[in-house]
Amino acid sequence: MPEGRGRVLIIAGSDSGGGAGIQADIKTVTALGGYAATAVTSVTVQNTQGVSAVHPIPTAVVEAQARAVLDDIGADAIKTGMLGDAATVEAVARVIDSAPGVPVVVDTVMIAKGGESLLSAEGARALKALLVPRAALLTPNAPEAAALTGLPVETTDDLRRAGEALLNAGAQAVLMKGGHIAGDEVTDLLMTTRGETVFSGPRIETRHTHGTGCTLASACAVGLAQGLSLEAAVARGWGYLAEAIRRAPGFGAGHGPLDHAWPMREP
């Protein structure tokens, strides 16, 4: 583990079930030795079976939370998750601009695991215009990549083409996640203007995958906050997520949560 805990400011929504959102982010950052601070964008009513209500936090309050953290505690990385609407995206862009030099991991949260929309159409346009160019790392899954680029994303080659489009849109790096691509192997592509790194492994057959995107993005963010290179941060995060899926506790009747705390029990 690198020296220094690594401060991560997480700007995301709350998941009452504890498996995704800001709860998963905090657990991940803590398990990997970092320090998590938060700006809550919304309170969701959800469990493993889906989201039944969303209560947005006023945009001014979201921005004030983030600025309070940055003004006092500071941050070595910023991670964004569920933002909800264009006004919140715009506020987050202002916060990012007030913290020059701090790498930003943008998790393009658009749709919940159960299929519920978590970002308005106007919000998606704002995310593409304002946050993609500010991202040190963008982490879309296949449906999100398709929504952001307008390209079909059904194969790994499609994922690569969409990644190139997002790099051309201004992202410094993209982690194109292949979990939605059919096949016995899951292949993720870390793409930068310098080249590509492939992360591939056997698909884990399980329904306990709630919060995988939040978890991976936060794992990458804390690695960057601790001074790891982009490739090393993603590699560590990828391995952490795979083990958290394998060790899932089996809670809930739907898409169950992961075991975020597993490194804390290792000797």
148-198: pLDDT as tens digits:
999 999 999 999 999 999 999 999 999 999 999 999 999 999 999 999 999
Mean pLDDT of 103-117: 81
56 domain residue, yes or no: yes
Active site residues: 177, 209, 211-214
Give the least confident one: 62-76, 111-125, 155-169, 235-249: 111-125
Tell me, what's the pLDDT at 2?
A: 39
Question: Three-state SS for 241?
Answer: helix
Strands 35-47 and 7-15: parallel
Domain that holds residue 109: 7-257
- Tell me if 177 sits within 8 A of 219, measured CB to CB: no
Predicted confidence (pLDDT) per residue in 210-252, tens digit: 999 999 999 999 999 999 999 999 999 999 999 999 999 999 9
- Is the pLDDT assigned to residue 111 strictly greater than 80? no
**Is a pLDDT exceeding 50 seen at residue 3?**
no
- Does 128 reside within a domain? yes
Give domain status of residue 220, yes or no: yes
Domain presence at residue 246:
yes
266 pLDDT more than 70: yes
Report pLDDT for 123: 87
Q: What is the DSSP letter of 203?
A: P
| 156 assigned to some structural domain | yes
C-alpha–C-alpha distance, residues 237 and 4, integer Å: 18
Nearest to 209 by CA among 247, 235, 237, 182: 247
Which residues have C-beta within 8 Å of that of residue 138, sequence separation ≥ 6?
A: 106, 108, 132, 166, 171, 173, 174, 175
Q: Look at residue 26 and tell me if it is in a domain.
A: yes
Tally of structural domains, the chain:
1
Distance CA 136, CA 8 (A): 14
pLDDT at 116 > cutoff 90: no
The percentage of the chain sitting over the pLDDT mark of 70, rounded to a whole number, equals 96
Burial grade of 215 (CB within 10 A; 0-12, 13-18, 19 or more): buried
Does 21 reside within a domain?
Answer: yes
Residue 53 lies in a domain: yes
User: Domain containing 109 — which CATH number?
Assistant: 3.40.1190.20
